[in-house]
Structures are given as structure tokens and as C-alpha cells.
Amino acid sequence: MPMDQQRPDADLNTAVRLNSVHLKLASQAGEVNILRGIDLTIGSGETVGVVGPSGSGKTSLLMVIAGLEQATAGSVHAAGTEISALDEDGLALFRRDNVGIVFQNFHLIPTMTALENVAIPLEFAGKPDAFDRAEAHLKSVGLDHRLTQYPGQLSGGEQQRVALARACVTEPSILLADEPTGNLDQETGRKIMDLLFELHDRLGTTLILVTHEVALADRCTRVLHLADGLIVQDQK
């Protein structure tokens, strides 16, 4: 990776910076403009909710920040790295070292125990204490009694707790959550959100939360409203 791609942002208090970011994706009807010129700066340690109707570009915005989608135009800086200039190997290393992601559908590996699922990012990073750290993070989300259980043996809320522990086990500087309560009942969803904000407070990570629920977004210190691939309101 060239050195200029690794150089920290001049503003060390900036976690994410997007400059005129566009994203076009192919469809059967031709190219679709998903993001249409996003300019956004998010400070380190901020909690940011992202709301908007279906198809407004919320999830795509997260995917661009995570480097899971490549911006068609514009620049993307995250955790001090210009990720829009990285190749696939560079992006994988960037995510491993800097980003935790929580999805609506958990994305746990069904043939691995809760402990093994959480240890995976640390094993990929070659950490010798991977399982000890994974156990500590499962304990932090109240699942120290479920270490050897497989995802199919866990409730939806428990699976999302495992996913939260996995996302945070590397202590990432940026935590992205895409509808993390979407498949949960209201009470379980509230507990997951409490855990999410507790982890943010403990780790000091930057939290970006996509949700359809305005009440959840309002728990953040800042709320972005998206429509048709644009930020139409930045509420602080």
C-alpha cells in the first residue's frame, strides 16, 4: 500500500470524510444512481443516526464507508486512510483493523460456536489471545454462559449479541450498524440498542447507525436524513 494512502488525516478528530461521493450500480434497467454527491464529515467518537425512506441510499452509504462498495466518483477517507484508493487486499486489511459491522441478519457462521464466531477477526489478525479476548467480549454482552452454543441454538437476540461482540472484539475505531434491531421484537431490540451504546461509551468508537426508526436515531447526537441519494438534513 503506498504511503500516501496510509497517511493520517490532518484533522485527527475526523473519523470519516466523504467528498462529492457518487455511487452508481448496475441493474437490469441500466445504471442506477444510488448516492448523488455526498459531502460528509464525522468526528471521532460521534454517534450518528442515518434515516430515510427505503431506497434513499442509507445502507449504500455505510457500505461505501466500510469499503464494501467502491465509490464511482469522489473520495472516501475513514480512520485516517483514503480507502477510495485501495485495492481489494488493502480494503480487507483496512476493515480488519478499523471497522466493526453489525448487520440486520446477524451473518454468523452456523458451523462455529459463539466463541469461535467472535474469535474469527482476531484469528485473521494473528492474535495469540484471540479466544481469551473473544470470551471477554461475549461476557460483556451477557453471553458467557453460551460460549459453546451454535447460532441455531441461540435466540435472535442472542445471535445479535454475538454479532455485536464480534464487531467490537478488535476494538475498531468505527462501528457501523445496519438496522441491527430489524429482525428483533421491540423489547429485545431495545436491549440490543442499550448494549450498542454501552459498547460505544466503553470503547470510544465512532458509531454510525442506519435505522428506519426515528426514535432509535434520536438516541444519537446527530441524525442524517437521506432522500434520493442525498443528505437533505443534518440534524445536530
- Across 159-167, average pLDDT: 95
Mean pLDDT of 67-85: 94
Which CATH number fits the domain that encloses residue 136? 3.40.50.300
Q: Is the pLDDT of residue 3 over 60?
A: no
- Indicate whether 192 belongs to any domain: yes
> Is residue 127 domain-resident?
yes
Is residue 97 classed as helix, strand or coil in its secondary structure? helix
Is 23 contained in some domain?
no
Instruction: Identify whether 35 is part of a domain.
Output: no
Give the global pTM: 0.91
- Number of CB atoms found within 10 A of residue 205's CB: 24
Which domain range does residue 158 map to? 46-67+88-235
Question: pLDDT confidence of 4, banded at 50, 70, 90?
Answer: very low
**Model confidence at 26: pLDDT above 90:** no
Sheet holding 30-43, edge to edge: 30-43, 14-27, 73-78, 81-82
Q: What pLDDT does 84 receive?
A: 87
* 197, part of any domain: yes
Counting the structural domains of the chain, the total is 1
* Helix/strand/coil percent split, the chain, to 5: 35, 30, 35
- Residue 144 and residue 135 in contact, taking contact as beta carbons nearer than 8 Å: yes
* pLDDT for residue 10: 46
Cβ count within 10 A of residue 54: 7
Q: How far apart are the first and last CA of the chain?
A: 36
Question: Can you give the pLDDT at residue 11?
Answer: 61
Distance in angstroms (rounded) separating the CA atoms of residues 64 and 210? 13
Question: For position 47, what pLDDT does the model report?
Answer: 97
Q: Judge whether 25 lies within some domain.
A: no
Whether 50 maps to a domain, the answer reads: yes
Average pLDDT, the chain: 92
What is the structure's pLDDT at 169? 94
Is residue 212 included in any domain, yes or no? Answer: yes
**8 has a pLDDT exceeding 70:** no
